[in-house]
Structure 1
Amino acid sequence: MKGVLLVNLGSPESPTPKDVKPYLDEFLMDKYVIDVPYLLRALLVRGIILQTRPKKSAHAYAQIWTDEGSPLIVFSKRMHEKVQRLVDLPVALAMRYGTMSIEKGLRELSEKGVTEVMLLALYPQYAMASTTTIWELANELVRTKFPKMTLTKVPAFYNKPDFIQVLANSIKKHLEGFEYDHLLFSYHGIPKRHIRKTDVTKSHCKIDGSCCNTPSPAHEFCYRHQCYETTKQVVKLLGIPEGKYSQTFQSRLAGDKWLTPYTDVEINKMPAQGITKLAVVTPAFVADCLETLEEIAMRANEEFIENGGKEFLAVPCLNDEDEWCEVVANWIQDFKTK
């Protein structure tokens, strides 16, 4: 029997330091997130980061928390419920970190008799710190706890025509009535070394401005290429002229070389460049979360206005939009009929 497991990032149980700390510990101790030897990772995370970060992160989460809970969880559950109503296969929802674990999701499917699982990581672009960690943990759980199961992993869907279409439609809808000077595509940042580590050719990815535009097998797992490709295809569909849009990367950690240009740096420069009405879209996320709501819709908005900007629009993620849920349901239907 076939079934589906949808997986997103996860969330603390509450916006308090007490609950944020174990969540951050699980997240940052993941070897695919901070990819250094265990002892060094433990020193960085438990000896330094967790001494101060939980309080700061809890404050940020408190800014976006809703009566129903974490926006990421709330939107993911709504999307899951809509998708389940559209298909006749069992669909479970899990998170890579936190209490809604992948193990719980697989167990839920197993108890319904599922032996073939379609594993859909809810990240449009492939990255070691998102897609790989989900795939590897799911593999390990199947090997050790669910040996009768098989996994069919859905590849990154950054350029699937139906995803691009629904993303473009959503952006167009939210931009109606907003006369923007510039549309910024802000993607989650990752360390540059992650790009090189996932290069299957071991030689193509130089992050030099040309490699992402040169065809290569490396692109199947290249986050940077996939981000630029998503932007290119959405811009083409929307008919946005050159010069009226750009792409940046957000959410970096200090001490590493991360993908550039940086979202906050670029946004803060825009008013001086004559851009006073800015719209920002975040296509690395399918559900609104801390990075889209607090970092962009609140903090970036505030800094843009402080630097002379006039109007700022944070375009919502796809969340539980009907058209997006129908696209996912169609992917599930394709899996069912194979």
Structure 2
Amino acid sequence: MNSPRKAILLMNLGSPDSTSVKDLRTYLTEFLMDERVIDKPRWLRSLLVKGIIVPFRAPKSAKAYQSIWTEEGSPLIVLTKQLQSAVQEQVSYPVSICMRYGNPSPMTAMQELSKQYPSLEEVVLVPLYPHYAWSSYETAVVYALHQHKHGGFNFKMTVVPPFYEEPAYIDALAESMRPYLSQPYDLMIFSYHGIPERHITKRHPAGTHNLSTSDQCCSEAKYQRYCYRHQVIRTTHLVAEKLGIPREKYTLSFQSRLGRDPWLQPYTAKSLGEWPGQGYKKAVIACPAFVSDCLETIEEIGEEGRELFLHAGGESFTLIPCLNTHPDWVKTLVGLLDKAAPAELEDDSFEG
């Protein structure tokens, strides 16, 4: 590549550097001290995270990561690097990666790009989150923009917006799932990463969101743009329609709950223990909030979820892999680059 003017920066969630308890403490502290993940005053967040949550969770999380760790390292990091290579084959400008938590940081990635390609004029940030949420898309973008601003770089940064209803994304997601639906099944489950209900209602009047139904959330476009719940419902219905799944044969739920506050419901873990008793013995499950398989898909759903379902009387449980490096997804991602624009955020504050 001779003096490219543009580069691509794929940004994923991140992973601990190893499965040691020490590295899990470091990773979990950075993750949970994010004000967009636990939106409490800093002093209270620090007390909860450093004094209670991390000391308790780090050893358990270390064991969980050990169950999925590969020879190459964390599945999420390995798969993101594979996606980087797949995208690089399709474009003529450099493609790099960074993580919201852990390594490599956006600053490290941008410094390397700037050093290697001093003529860069634009870096296109691609947050690998289909849906908009405080604790995923927004925190990733705000963090990257903060590091860009304070890095003294000569290039500008543009950002790919959430793509939860982009036709090409829906097509790619549907095609990645289609082979797993050729077998008989009773229920197709769309399990999304959960968030506290207050993340939905805090910004906008509570009356604009209906949290009691799985078919809709908010009707006004100005709220839908930043409403995670609306967006996952929209993705679910579009994919189900594309695949021709009858309404009575699919559902959506939310996983990865933390703490005792009410989170978006229904809860995946609780429901997995109930569905067999309701006649749904053969389940197929996908996790569309993630584009790369990780702890939350492989271990939480693929191992813990499977055990819950089968122990409750289920007969078969099939976890559909994330998009990872599916050819249709790679093609979709390259197409999304054309939608990059200056970031438009309701809240661009950053608490470092």
* Fold match by TM threshold 0.5: yes
- Which one-letter code corresponds to 2:142 in the other structure? E
Query: Does 2:240 align with 1:268?
Result: no
In the aligned structure 1, how far is the partner of 2:180 from the partner of 2:130? Answer: 20
Matches within 5 A, 1:35-46: 35-46=39-50
CA contact (8 A) 1:87 1:333 kept: no
1:213 positional shift: 5.0
Residues 1:182 and 1:106: Cα distance change in structure 2 (over 3 Å): same
Greater mean deviation of Cα atoms: 129-138 or 326-335: 326-335
Greater mean deviation of Cα atoms: 101-110 or 77-86: 101-110
Query: Does 2:242 align with 1:242?
Result: no
1:203 positional shift: 5.8
1:142 aligns to what?
Answer: 148
In the aligned structure 1, how far is the partner of 2:28 from the partner of 2:92? Answer: 36
Q: Deviations over 1:290-332 (max 9, x none)?
A: 0000010111101111111110000000011122111112223
1:197 aligns to what?
Answer: 202
1:198 positional shift: 4.4
- Which one-letter code corresponds to 2:196 in the other structure? P
Structure 1 residue matching 2:158: 3-state secondary structure: strand
Structure 2 residue matching 1:214: 3-state secondary structure: coil
Aligned residue pairs total: 334
The one of 294, 315, 318 equivalent to 2:323 is 318
1:161 aligns to what?
Answer: 167
- Which one-letter code corresponds to 2:179 in the other structure? K
1:206 positional shift: 5.0
Structure 2 residue matching 1:86: 3-state secondary structure: coil
Query: Does 2:158 align with 1:152?
Result: yes
2:134 aligns to what?
Answer: 128
In the aligned structure 2, how far is the partner of 1:206 from the partner of 1:149? Answer: 42
In the aligned structure 1, how far is the partner of 2:261 from the partner of 2:123? Answer: 37
1:279 aligns to what?
Answer: 284
Structure 2 residue matching 1:10: 3-state secondary structure: strand
In the aligned structure 1, how far is the partner of 2:88 from the partner of 2:128? Answer: 15
- Which one-letter code corresponds to 1:250 in the other structure? Q
In the aligned structure 2, how far is the partner of 1:59 from the partner of 1:114? Answer: 42
Query: Does 2:250 align with 1:252?
Result: no
Structure 2 residue matching 1:243: 3-state secondary structure: helix
CA contact (8 A) 2:209 2:218 kept: no
Matches within 5 A, 1:302-317: 302-317=307-322
Query: Does 2:211 align with 1:207?
Result: yes
The one of 224, 228, 242 equivalent to 1:223 is 228
Q: Which runs of 5+ in 2 are unaligned?
A: 342-352
1:110 aligns to what?
Answer: 114
Residues 1:291 and 1:67: Cα distance change in structure 2 (over 3 Å): same
Q: Deviations over 1:150-176 (max 9, x none)?
A: 221111100000000000000002333
Q: Deviations over 1:14-50 (max 9, x none)?
A: 1121211100010001111111111000000001011
2:346 aligns to what?
Answer: none
Q: Deviations over 1:224-253 (max 9, x none)?
A: 000000001001100100110100000001
CA contact (8 A) 2:208 2:218 kept: no
Query: Does 2:298 align with 1:293?
Result: yes
Matches within 5 A, 1:31-110: 31-110=35-114
Structure 2 residue matching 1:117: 3-state secondary structure: strand
In the aligned structure 1, how far is the partner of 2:142 from the partner of 2:300? Answer: 29
1:170 aligns to what?
Answer: 176
Greater mean deviation of Cα atoms: 222-231 or 59-68: 59-68
CA contact (8 A) 2:160 2:337 kept: no
1:87 positional shift: 0.1
In the aligned structure 2, how far is the partner of 1:134 from the partner of 1:189? Answer: 17
Q: Deviations over 1:50-93 (max 9, x none)?
A: 11110000011111111111111111110111101110111111
In the aligned structure 1, how far is the partner of 2:237 from the partner of 2:48? Answer: 37
CA contact (8 A) 1:128 1:198 kept: no
Q: Deviations over 1:113-135 (max 9, x none)?
A: 32312111001111101111111
CA contact (8 A) 1:196 1:206 kept: no
Aligned CA RMSD, in angstroms, stands at 1.7
Structure 1 residue matching 2:253: 3-state secondary structure: strand
1:185 aligns to what?
Answer: 190
Query: Does 2:35 align with 1:27?
Result: no
Residues 1:203 and 1:108: Cα distance change in structure 2 (over 3 Å): farther
- Identical columns (%): 44
CA contact (8 A) 1:122 1:286 kept: yes
Q: Which runs of 5+ in 1 are unaligned?
A: none
